[in-house]
Structure 1
Amino acid sequence: MAAVLFDFSGTLFRIETAESWLRAVLAETGHTLPEPELTRAARALEAAGGLPGGPEPVELPADLAGLWAVRDESAELHRAAYTGLSRRVPLPDPGLYDALYDRHMAPAAWSPYPDAAKVLRALRERGIGVGVVSNIGWDLRPVFRAHGLDAYVDTYVLSYEHGVQKPDPRLFSVACEALGADPRRVVMVGDNRAADGGAAALGCRVHFVDHLPVDRRPDALLPVLDLVS
C-alpha cells in the first residue's frame, strides 16, 4: 500500500463527553447550574445531537432535516445545524449555544485514541503517505498540532473546504491525488460505514473501527500496520 487515509472523529480522535462540554462552557462564560440541572441538560443536549462529534440526534426535527443532510458542506451550514439542535434544549443564556459550538472546536475538547500516535509514527517511518479525510465544518489542523500529531499527516481534505461531503468519492480522490497515490493502493480507515465506505468506489480498501470512548478502544488502529506491510 502507498498511503492510508483516516477519518477524524471516532477514528483518530474522540470528542469529550456532553457533560464535560457543557461544564467547560458554563465555567468559561461565568454561568452556573445546580448539578442535577447540569446533568439533565447535558443528557438532553446529547440526545438532541447538539454535540458535534457526539451521537447523532435521537429524533431529527423535521425543520432541520434538510440542513442536517448537507451540514458538512460549509462552515455556515455546520454551525447552523448543530446550534439549531442544541437550541432545542433550554439553557440559562441564549449566548451559550454559540459558545458550546465554539468549545467543540478547541483542541482541549478532543483526545487522540491511545494508539493514534504510534500508528501514525510507524506509517511515517515506513514511508507511507497519510491523509485525513473528514466530514467537518471547521479547520481541525490545530487539533492535530496541539496533540503533536500534525507532523505525521501529509494532507488534509476537509468537506467544508471543498463543498463536498463523504461518501462522495471526489473527496477521497482529492486526497489520493495530493498523496500521489493510486487509489487501488490506498486504505481508508473510518468509523462510519456509509460515509467512509465511499472510498471503495475508487478502488480503495476500507477498514472500519468502532466509535468508542478512548478508554474502551486502546488498540483498534494497530491492524492498519498489518494492512500496509
Structure 2
Amino acid sequence: MRPDGVLFDAAGTLFDLTPPIHDVIASAAACQGHPCSPARLERALDDVGSTLGWPDDASDSAGRTRAWTVFVRQIIDEAHVTASEAALRTIAETAAATILEPANYRVFPDVTPLIERLSAADIRIGIVSNFDDLLFEILDHTRLSTLFDTVLTSYRTGISKPEPRIFHLAAQAIGTAPEATHYIGDSVYSDMGGAHAAGLRGILIDRDGKHPTYSGEKIVSLMDLQLDLDH
C-alpha cells in the first residue's frame, strides 16, 4: 500500500557510529593496556542499554559527556575489564569523546536512494528518535538535516518511544493519519512496539540479523521496502 508518510528511527536505521560502540570501547581499553573482546563488550552494551537505558536526554555538551562517560564505565564494569581506577576512567572518557563526535557517524548507503524515491513520489518523511540535541549535530554533519520534513526527539518533546504520543505528534507534523503512515526502525521494543501501539505500520529493519524470531514485517535493507510508489 502506498503510504502518505514514512517516519524513521535515527541511529541504527539511518546512520551509525563507525566503528560501532563496542569496538570503540575495545580500542580505548587496548590503548590503556587492557584488551577486552569486542564481542564481550557488545554483550555488555546490550545488557546495560536494555536494563539501565541509554544516555539520550542530556541538555548540553557537558551533560552528554558526563552521561556517556558513566554509561561506558557501566559497560566496561559489566564486561569485567580489570584495571586501575585511573585507567578505567580514561577508557570511559576516551570512548565517550569518540561516541559524541558527529564526524564519526556514517549514513547507511541505502538511505539516500530511498529518500530520493520518497521525495520524487511526494511522500512526506520525518524522524522520530529517542535522542537529545546531538542528533541535530549528526544530521548536519551527515547532510541529512535538510532532507526530512520534521525531526522529533524524546529530549525536545519530553516523550520517549515506545509511548504512542510521539508517533502521533510526528504524523501530525507531516500531515498524515497514523494508519496511512509507515515507521521504520531497528528496535523491536521502542520502534515496533510504539509504532504498532500508535496505529502506524511498523517495519523492522534488521541489518545484522539480530532478530531472527521477530514475526512482524521485517527487512534487511531499505531497498527491500515494497511501497508501491509508482501507483
Q: Say yes or no: TM over 0.5.
A: yes
Establish whether residue 202 from structure 1 lines up as the match of residue 205 from structure 2.
no
Say whether the 8 Å CA contact 1:187–1:205 is kept in structure 2. Answer: yes
Q: Which residue of 2 aligns with 1:124?
A: 119
Distance 1:181 1:158 in 2: 18
Percent identical among aligned pairs is: 24
Unaligned runs of 5+ in 2: 210-218
What residue number does 1:85 align with?
A: 74
Map 1:58-97 → 2, pairs under 5 A: 60=48, 65=51, 68-69=52-53, 71=54, 74-75=57-58, 79=68, 82-88=71-77, 89-90=81-82, 92=87, 94-97=89-92
> For residues 33 and 94 of structure 1, do their structure 2 counterparts lie closer, same or farther at Cα, with a shift above 3 Å needed?
closer
Partner deviation per Cα, 1:25-72 (whole Å, 9 max, x = no partner): 68xxxx9345xx44x2645433321xxxxxx12xx59xx94xx14x46
Aligned residues: 205
Tell me the residue number matched to 2:223.
222
Which of 182-191 and 148-157 deviates more? 148-157
TM-score by length of 1: 0.73
Match of 1:53 in 2: none
| RMSD value, Cα | 3.2
The answer on whether the counterparts of 1:107 and 1:142 sit within 8 Å (CA) in structure 2 is yes
Q: Any gaps of 5 or more consecutive residues in structure 1?
A: 50-55
The answer to whether 1:150 aligns with 2:145 is yes
Runs of 4 or more, structure 1, over 4 Å off, are: 23-26, 41-44
Farther-moved stretch of structure 1 (1-10 vs 96-105): 96-105
TM-score scaled to structure 2, two decimals?
0.73
1:1-229 → structure 2 map (5 Å cutoff): 1-15=3-17, 16-18=19-21, 20-22=23-25, 32-34=31-33, 37-38=34-35, 40=36, 42-49=38-45, 56-57=46-47, 60=48, 65=51, 68-69=52-53, 71=54, 74-75=57-58, 79=68, 82-88=71-77, 89-90=81-82, 92=87, 94-197=89-192, 198-212=194-208, 220-224=221-225, 226=227, 228-229=229-230
